[in-house]
Structure 1
Amino acid sequence: CLRPQKALLLELEGLQGKPVEGFRVTLLDGGDLYNWEVAISGPPNTYDEGGYFQARLKSPIDFLTPCRPFGS
């Protein structure tokens, strides 16, 4: 199993290393790995085109990471 901090760091690096158009993730609170801001731009030719959606994700310090792949 990964430690929570390592799991979050790997997720963040994956999201920032291979950016997805219209999707952005940044750390809040001076780089706190447990507090993220996510921004999504509505894709063209959809009902959400032109929209801008933000969310704050806060992970508990002691959250459990999966030890096995889902579905096993």
Structure 2
Amino acid sequence: MGSVKRITKELAELTQSPPEGITVELAEEGDVYNWKIHMEGPEGSPYHKGNFLVKLSLPTEYPFKPPTVSFVTKIYHPNVTNDDKGSMCLGMLRADEWKPSSKIAAVLQFARQLLSEPMPDDAVEGRIAEQYKNDRPRYEEVAREWTRKHA
């Protein structure tokens, strides 16, 4: 039950003083393991003015196992899968890199930071990563287009 206590505490902190551009709520009242996150596209990124719905699922073994972060809103990004899952590839969320001391706030800030600075070398969408590296203007154009259409 320690996990529920910790999750509730982190949720309270995030609700009272959320990181910039991020709002957090429970997906369903009474279920502390599933969160709905609204993330604004950061200024200066092709996602600016977009509002993305992100799902955060916490395992019952949290904080010893990492949460899963996925974009509900479609997004054109090298680190987010282009399927209906929208899984985000974050180094810090890998089981072997996760630290129980990590906080959900840090995960969310890192996820939003990734919108400004994609990591093409850690990509799940190789084609988008290639485009990001080799044809940045086209990548930004498509990312902006998707943001207008979906976010």
The TM-score with structure 1 as length reference comes to 0.71
What does 1:1-72 align with in structure 2 at a 5 Å threshold? 3-61=2-60, 63-66=61-64, 69=101
Bigger helix share: 2
Say what the alpha-carbon RMSD is for the aligned residues.
2.3
Contact 1:38–1:57, Cα closer than 8 Å, also in 2 = yes
Task: Give the distance between the partners of 2:101 and 2:25, measured in 1 at CA.
Answer: 26
Query: What is the percentage of aligned positions where both structures have the same residue?
Result: 30
Is there any run of 5+ residues in structure 2 with no aligned partner, and where? 65-99, 103-151
> How far is 1:69 from its partner?
4.6
Bigger strand share: 1
Higher relative contact order (CA 8 A, sep 6+): 1
Instruction: Provide Cα deviations, 1:7-49, integer angstroms capped at 9, x if missing partner.
Output: 1111111111213332011001223111101110112233221
Task: Give the distance between the partners of 1:46 and 1:7, measured in 2 at CA.
Answer: 33
Detail structure 1 runs of 4+ shifted over 4 Å in the superposition. Answer: none
Task: Give the distance between the partners of 2:36 and 2:2, measured in 1 at CA.
Answer: 21
The TM-score with structure 2 as length reference comes to 0.38
